[in-house]
Chain A
């Protein structure tokens, strides 16, 4: 597992993909931070210590939705296209270890992507008002769990195709679906909506963004990721049974 993890990190950084994704994330979220901050300072009367972060976290969530599929698209699709997956299967590794190694690598990049954005609140504490640390950390936990779920979803899609582009596109569409599925309340009706909103990654994120941690939401995110990872292991296994082609 460590072997796969390290290999994926090497590839992330030598293919520049990780740099590109991290830079884009920091750039765009910095821009949002700047405009959110301006908005809060200009309009006044808002709670900068808390309210600003709700805006900012929701913006970062949106950026993750677009960027994280790029982190997972390669993980299996490229091994399939290159034919290297076959070689992995000749080493004493179990499919679970292959999947987890890749997943952990993408989680590390996610951490590297999120960590520098803590600079924004640190700066703000220096120049303006102090930040509500507890609420902020809850928000970041939520953001990380949400990202982890996105990545688990992306890794499954990547295991189902030979094409990175297709993997990214399908992952993005699927995540978008998870986002918008609770929008059209009228169309789905109340009972269905209550089920859907329990499944919706984005509704689950809401409490975190307001500075709260609900253990049910944490469990949900962890389970969501676990299900997708297990599914990926099954997908690999069935591919192996059918032959490598």
Chain B
């Protein structure tokens, strides 16, 4: 459905995206993961037809985004980063505008608007001015706009950024509910989020694709993403034996009188603390430091098992 081949985008003499290639099958839900400035937005904008690539080609539904922009734009619903909005329009007015701008047939407009209002639970707010809505609602208006016309491809640029945890969960559920026949790309700089929603993750850093994997494979590869420090009132040898028996604990060592090990995720911590207290030992310290995304990328690139296709 989406074929990106050797995409490069330069802004002046700065290269934001460098020789990026990947393909996305119809119906697939793919997460774009990368820190700020990685080139996610730039890549998505090229796919959405906002600006042309400097070199390389992007095809959506078999059409070239540069040569047939209106053909590809009709296939794509786009949610821009930060969900820009017109403060002086009501939700209904705004969606009516988008329905026309997307050239939906007159007869279908009304029902399409109703459908997306329902899908994004905006019914009660429909006559409110978008500028008067909370960020969470505005984000939903942005999604509603992308969904209008039921496009085959959805490109969602950080749909959960800047929201409180409850709203993040809502939006995430909404995106999950959209999976199915539609092809979805959504970007995020939060690993756990991408892993929850996407079937496949494309990791971008500094304008390049550094890895491409299924969430499970990814999890395996970044095993040890969490570094844990532990102190307990217990004989060292017994404690060592105990800790190493907990699944998910790796690289166990004693540093500065504390145990230090790597764990895949937070769930391992719970197991560890349960095991220690169950044996009647007193837990004195249990602290963790997560790897930053940057460190995760280093791990993916250097520690990487077998290098994957597309890896830099």
Contact = CB atoms under 8 A, between A and B. Distances in A.
A232 B60 CA distance: 29
A244 B16 CA distance: 13
Interface residues of A, number: 27
A206 to B, nearest CB: 39
Contact of B50 (A3, A14, A86, A94): A86
Q: Is the interface of B mostly helix, strand, loop or mixed?
A: mixed
Nearest to A240: B51
A87 B98 CA distance: 10
Interface in B133-172: 145
Interface in B215-250: none
A245 to B, nearest CB: 8
Interface string A1-21: 011101100110011000000
Given A82-B84, A244-B51, A87 B89 contact: no
Given A6-B97, A7-B89, A90-B73, A83 B84 contact: yes
A176 B60 CA distance: 49
Please tell me the size bucket of the interface on B.
Answer: 20 to 34
B84 A87 contact: yes
B88 interface: yes
A83 B83 CA distance: 8
Nearest to B146: A90
Nearest to A3: B100
B310 interface: no
B101 A93 contact: yes
Top 3 nearest A-B pairs by Cβ distance? A3-B100, A83-B84, A92-B70
Interface of A: 2-4, 6-7, 10-11, 14-15, 82-84, 86-94, 240-245
Interface of B: 9, 11-12, 16, 42, 45, 48-52, 69-70, 73-74, 76, 78, 80, 82, 84-89, 93, 97-98, 100-103, 129, 145
Given A14-B129, A91-B98, 4 more contacts: A10-B97, A82-B85, A86-B45, A89-B49
